[in-house]
Amino acid sequence: MAANPSQTRDLLFEMGTEELPPNLVFSLAHALQQAIVQGLDKAQLAHGEAQCFATPRRLAVWVADVATQQPDQQQERRGPALRAAFDAQGQPTKAAQGFAQSCGVSVTQLERMETDKGIWLVHRQQQHGQAAERLIPELITHAVDALPIPKRMRWGAGDAAFSRPVRWLLLLFGEQVIPLRLFALDAGSISYGHRFHHPDPLTISTARTYAEQLHQPGQVIADFAERRARIHQQVTEIAAAAGGKAVVTDALLDEVTALTEWPVAILGHFEERFLQVPAEALITTMQYHQRYFPVVDASGQLMPCFIAISNLISQDPEQVRIGNERVIRPRFSDAEFFWNQDRARPLAVRTERLATVIFQQQLGTLRDKSLRVQTLAVDIAQQLNASVEFAQRAAELAKCDLLTDMVQEFPELQGVMGSHYARHDGEPDEVAQALEEQYRPAFAGDTLPHTPTGQILAIAERLDTLVGIFAIGQAPTGNRDPFALRRAALGVNRIFIECRLPLDCEALLQKAAQAYTSDVDAESVISEVFDFIFERLRAYYQEREVSGDLFAAVLANRPTQPLDFDRRLQAVSAFRELPEAADLIAANKRIRNILRKVPGPLPAEPDAAMLYEPVEQTLLTRMTQITPSVSAQLAQADYAAALSQLATLRDPVDQFFEHVMVMADDIAVRNNRLALLAQLDALFNQVADLSRLR
């Protein structure tokens, strides 16, 4: 909403806090901005652009050109109908008098409003808009109360609660301070700069100069995006100067941005001997534990240096560098120790110890799960003509690295370290790679397993979990999915489809259920798990902008192979683009509606001798001619070709409906024509239920 510039001011609200959790900094600032803008809109206060600011110690929102007053509004209140408002003598009734009194006027001051339902008494009055400064405190309070804070804390002796203690409030409307009391604090025009560089109070002159004054003299970059860009630039330049390239992830960049107000990048080094440890362990230590940026060379190999982000300009940067190097060294020493200790024994010796670790109380130990996954993996390998030996060995070793010192210290490295240890032990490379690939895809858009053994292991592991968790009654409900079954189902679908694996999901679920003991009634949930997996396909195709009716048309035929489902969907999508498609889809709907009303059984096949009209004879002839080739194409899963042939029936079908009365008076003729339509319906809908297409 735009407003008259001469009647607007900028609005600024800031909350100063103790250091906020880094994962909440930007999300809370963005939520605060949205809530304030919604409050302004609800209060009908026109405004310009809005911007949020977020640092570890502050959440702030600036809104440009906020109207200083609500617009005047004409209120209209309808009273009783005219016939009930006056008696036969034209005198106002009690209804009219009571309405007038409630409006604060006399009956003679009421107006009349004519509608298509009659004439009514009405009271109209002009309501003057309220001043913005009277409305802003309440909408700010509501915005703060509505912030999505997972866990609030209290401080001091009062009842105030927030993510972290709130230390100051600022609320400016142009140059004017608007009175506001929150968290036992009164808002003013005072902010604070950097905790060390500018700890003294900082008076903000106007809402529009906020970011500028914080930057100088406050030495705070309040804009999250600007601070993020500065960190990225510094890290990139320092890495290049060191002869390498920084490994920068969005997650780490966001976290470091949320931890700093005045970021300064510093290059540190570590001993080259640590590079003997797998790079993933060192990178995990740097990124997740120390929030450092690793540096790699032109070939992607880790270099013996890192980039740390300080939150101040040090008078002795060398000491900051030495301090960061001192901190990283013992962590790398631990990783080096774990690496050497774990390799002292082959990975396979841990298989028996898996029996001491509970996977799930009702589903047994990791050893039990390992044996079930082995059985299923072997079955899948046989179907795909892949190496049964590799599949069984990979499934046997899959969870062994969970018992290594390295993974127990760094759980993020499960699978990765198993792959390294397996290679060290001389296991086949494909087996070793599968140990890492079993966890792919780990998130939306993640890469899929590349090796056949990795694909087999990833499928077997997920299907075993899905069947088992459903069998003990812990299927996902609402937003609760502690075993990440939705992600597992989506991952299975992606592997089936994108790796082009012609596997029957329902049959595999049956195999997975048979691997469970009689204590777990797994076979009773096969249908439920199958439906759950295929329902996740809906989300998969929604992301690819596949229409809901197209998905529903294929799902109605319940193909049990996700890859086959995808082929059908692609074929139906192409069919819908044909010029004949619209008429045939309409005919399918008509046929379904007709057949739905048939009370009893129909002949198995239409009797050609009872088709008296030339157009119905032509339709049967064309159906008979193309059926063998369509059947052959369907057997080869060449659905596009089959539908393309079926499209040639458009003219015979159109002529049939134009010239033939299906519901003839003669019951035998009627049933024969219905049998013809039933055969046509069956022929058309072998790929998908075309009647569901719009």
Residues forming a β-bridge with 86? 92
Amino acid letter for position 339: W
pLDDT at 600 over 80: no
pLDDT at 261 over 70: yes
Model confidence pLDDT, tens digit, residues 141-168: 999 999 999 999 999 888 889 999 999 9
Residues 6+ apart with CB under 8 A from 535: none
In this prediction, residue 104 carries a pLDDT of 85
Model confidence pLDDT, tens digit, residues 44-99: 999 999 999 999 999 999 999 999 998 877 777 888 988 888 888 888 899 988 99
Pick from 506, 511, 512, 508: nearest CA to 527: 506
Token readout for 70 is 């609500």
Higher-scoring residue by pLDDT: 281, 591:
281
In this prediction, residue 1 carries a pLDDT of 47
Model confidence pLDDT, tens digit, residues 559-589: 999 999 999 999 999 988 888 888 888 888 8
Domain 349-545 has CATH 2.160.20: no
Residues 6+ apart with CB under 8 A from 374: 392, 395, 396
Residues forming CATH 1.10.3210 domain(s) in the chain? 349-545
pLDDT at 3 over 70: no
* SS (HEC) of 535-559: HHHHHHHHCCCCCHHHHHHHHCCCC
Average pLDDT over residues 608-622: 89
Residues forming CATH 3.30.70 domain(s) in the chain? 5-70+131-215
Token readout for 236 is 């990139």
Model confidence pLDDT, tens digit, residues 425-448: 999 999 999 999 999 999 888 999
Is the backbone of residue 445 left (phi > 0), alpha (psi -120 to 50) or beta?
A: left
- 389-402 CB burial, b ≥16 within 10 A, e <16: ebbbbbbbbbbbbb
What CATH number does the domain located at 5-70+131-215 have? 3.30.70
pLDDT at 269 over 90: yes
Q: Is 118 exposed, middle or buried (0-12, 13-18, 19+ CB in 10 A)?
A: exposed
The answer to whether 339 and 406 are in contact (CB under 8 A) is yes
Q: Is 89 exposed, middle or buried (0-12, 13-18, 19+ CB in 10 A)?
A: exposed
Pick from 181, 177, 146: nearest CA to 166: 181
The span from the CA of 371 to the CA of 368, in Å, is 5
The answer to whether 662 and 674 are in contact (CB under 8 A) is yes
Pick from 317, 308, 260: nearest CA to 285: 308
**Cα-based angle 675, 681, 683 (whole degrees, multiple of 5):** 105
pLDDT at 4 over 80: no
> In what helix (H) or strand (E) does residue 683 lie, and over which residues does it extend?
helix 667-684
The span from the CA of 383 to the CA of 502, in Å, is 9
Mean pLDDT score of the chain: 93
pLDDT at 6 over 80: no
Torsion over CA: 225, 227, 229, 235 (sign): negative
Pick from 398, 403, 473, 406: nearest CA to 432: 398
In this prediction, residue 353 carries a pLDDT of 95
Residues forming CATH 1.10.730.10 domain(s) in the chain? 581-692
Model confidence pLDDT, tens digit, residues 274-331: 999 999 999 999 999 999 999 999 999 999 999 999 999 999 999 999 999 999 999 9
CA 62 centroid distance within chain:
29
Question: Which fold is adopted by the domain 581-692?
Answer: Isoleucyl-tRNA Synthetase; Domain 1 (1.10.730)
Residues 6+ apart with CB under 8 A from 169: 13, 14, 15, 16, 180, 182, 183, 185, 186, 187, 188
**Long-range contacts: 605-610, Cβ < 8 Å, 24+?**
605/675, 605/679, 606/672, 606/673, 606/675, 606/676, 606/679, 607/672, 607/675, 610/668, 610/669, 610/672
Is the backbone of residue 548 left (phi > 0), alpha (psi -120 to 50) or beta?
A: alpha
Higher-scoring residue by pLDDT: 672, 217:
217
